Amino acid sequence: MVQVVNTIADVRRLTAAARLAGQSIGLVPTMGFLHDGHAALVKAAAAECDLVVVSIFVNPTQFGPSEDFHTYPRDLQRDVRTCQAAGAHVIFAPAVGEMYPDGFRTHVEVKGLSDLLCGASRPGHFRGVATVVAKLVGILGPDRAYFGQKDYQQTLVIRRMVADLNLPVEVVVIPTVRHPDGLAMSSRNTYLSSAERAAATVLYRTLQAARQAIAAGERDVATLERELRGLIAAEPLASLDYLAIVAPDDLSLLDQVAPTTLVALAVRIGRTRLIDNILIAVPTPETAWEAGPY
């Protein structure tokens, strides 16, 4: 049975006992209202680690003043069932005051990577993400921490923070889990009306159009962007926040498609902001031959 703890002292006792017993520890940081994408992270952690801790904490420092911190969906009992089924052992569900007590004034900021894409739209967001992940790593001392590719920029920020601060944790990134129609699983999907839910598939359709255009030989980024922006504009319920075709290691802008290219976008469907991305490997003459009909 998964154990729910609410204090730093209690979760540290559990992880200290695990380390004393020679067990490996996996951390799955979440904000709760778990879906199958989170379950995939937990299952990956359970396959590689002896003790799996899922943190459930709606982190106020990564929300802007006009964002949905107070209305973000929460359902701990539902999350307990999801964690139990996926193989977690411990849920760490602290209160805000436990993580940010009175007088708290230390933050972690990864400059450069935090200022682009979602960081430009949500100032301070990645400072909040980096700070809470650094705290969780410090509290739990995990061997591995698991994240989803849907939040690609977040994974880059966390990898850079871990490297720069010499944190002894392996960052493991799991492929995006999608609904049958391609929409990336997200806790915020619950905000969508039925009409908005149908419109939200435009994100995945746009990413697939990018893949198809590159496979067909398009290499000019400006041309690609015009085509992809047109697909978003054609959906009446969609409003584009950003669409970027960038280098996957540092999010730098490209003029021509690179051997591996990241296409990332954020789109508002009604009042709900959704993000998605795709990594595209450019076919070479050798791989095209290998994939040929013979």
Active site residues: 38
Task: Please say whether the beta carbons of 53 and 88 come within 8 A.
Answer: yes
- Per DSSP, what are the bridge partners of residue 174? 148
Dihedral angle sign, alpha carbons of residues 114, 115, 118, 124: positive
Q: Which amino acid makes up residue 222?
A: A
Q: How far apart, in Å, are the Cα atoms of 199 and each of 7, 51, 167, 195, 241? A: 41, 40, 41, 6, 15
Question: CA dist 7 to 10, 139, 140, 146, 287, Å?
Answer: 5, 10, 12, 21, 52
Distance CA 116, CA 16 (A): 38
